[in-house]
């Protein structure tokens, strides 16, 4: 099962290290994206696909980015 999905726009190494002490499931997979926007869209797809119990809220966009979720209309309007 997938417990949580996340994204690191700058440093996936430090992001994982900050997270690993806070979870009961310290196992992870990662993949790279070609851009920050592609990473955001991939995170959204994973969020909707797996509905992870560790994600209380929808993935957020970087400040100032007008991107839309490819799966839902949370950022519309």
DSSP 30: -
Of 23, 40, 69, 77, the one binding Zn ion (CB under 5 A) is: 69
Of 15, 61, 68, 71, the one binding Zn ion (CB under 5 A) is: 71
Residues in region 40-59 near Zn ion by CB under 5 A: 44
Write out the E strands in 1-66.
none
Among the residue ranges 5-13, 22-30, 33-41, 62-70, the one whose residues contact Zn ion (CB under 5 A): 62-70
Angstrom distance (rounded) from CA 67 to CA 40: 8
Quick one: which of 47, 45, 77, 41 has its CA closest to 61? 41
Minimum distance from residue 49 beta carbon to Zn ion (Å): 11
Residue with tokens 């560790």: 54
Question: What residues make contact with Zn ion under the rule CB under 5 A?
Answer: 44, 69, 71-72
């Amino acid at each position: 099962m997938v417990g949580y999905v996340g994204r690191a726009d700058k440093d996936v190494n430090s992001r994982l290290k900050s997270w690993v002490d806070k979870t009961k499931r310290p196992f992870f997979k990662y993949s790279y994206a070609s851009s920050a926007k592609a990473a955001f869209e991939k995170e959204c797809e994973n969020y909707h696909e797996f509905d992870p119990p560790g994600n209380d809220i929808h993935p957020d966009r970087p400040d100032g980015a007008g991107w839309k979720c490819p799966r839902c209309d949370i950022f519309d309007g």
